[in-house]
Amino acid sequence: MTARFYGVELSSPLMLGTAQYPSPDILRDAVQAAQPGVVTVSLRRESAGERAGQAFWSLIRELGVPVLPNTAGCHTVKEAVTTAHMAREVFGTEWVKLEVIGELDTLQPDVFGLVEAARILSEDGFKVFPYTTEDLVVAERLLAAGCDVLMPWGAPIGSGKGLNNIFGLRALRAHFPDVPLVVDAGIGVPSHAAQALELGYDAVLINTAVAKAGDPAVMARAFRLAVEAGVLARVADPMEERDMAVPSTPVAGKAMLA
């Protein structure tokens, strides 16, 4: 059960965010329970928050999980590009989850700024993971800008609403069969994650649903199992939906009572 991005194979298709946990110990327990393929870290938010300083960075390194820095909290191309360069220096990786937020209530991506920032960073050697919508035209632009991965949202960040636009996500998967796709944002419970992988997505990124759970470590384990179930279900080739009932027990050749 692995996932491959930019030629690198991750141990799991579960990506786990590191923000909003009640304490460093709870974060550590959640990561150990989830066994994610990568953890994401917001340079801007962690540097400005209560966990600023070397303690948080030391904890992330001690976890022994690959790091995907992100540009969460950035609202302009300049902010996002500057933050990405800072993250590359801090974490020594060219991978970056690119966020350029355009609308405050929904935290919807500014797709115009996103494409521009993706082009700038790709030309500078970054391996960009763009947080985007399920729009096919935007996806085309991002791929043309140098992205080899797309991260469409399931629903607004932190909403827990799951996969709001199944049609759009299916269309994106069908339109780009060879592009690694990650459902990012809006996943609230493990069944949402399983559903995303059953649709053919390569990975899911979870943060709030684990960090804000009553027991983050237990929820993290639940997501790990859900991801495994989703991958196995996809590999097993699920039955097609039907409009009418079909008896599971054949009646042909059976005795009938008058």
Give one DSSP letter per residue of 125-189, joined into a string: T-EEEEEE-S-HHHHHHHHHTT-S-BEE-SSSTT-----S-HHHHHHHHHH-TTS-BEEES---S
Query: In 3-state terms, what secondary structure has residue 239?
Result: coil
Query: Which positions ≥6 away from 88 have C-beta within 8 Å?
Result: 69, 94, 96, 126
Please tell me what DSSP assigns to residue 38: E
- Give the C-alpha separation, 92 to 194, whole Å: 32
Catalytic residue among 78, 97, 161, 212: 97
Q: Is 97 a catalytic residue?
A: yes
- β-pairing, 182-184 with 127-132? unpaired
- Residue 131 — φ and ψ, nearest 5°? -80, 115
Annotated binding site for 1-deoxy-D-xylulose 5-phosphate: 158, 185-186, 207-208
- Give the C-alpha separation, 90 to 188, whole Å: 31
CA 212, 217, 220: angle at the middle one, nearest 5? 80
Q: List active site positions.
A: 97
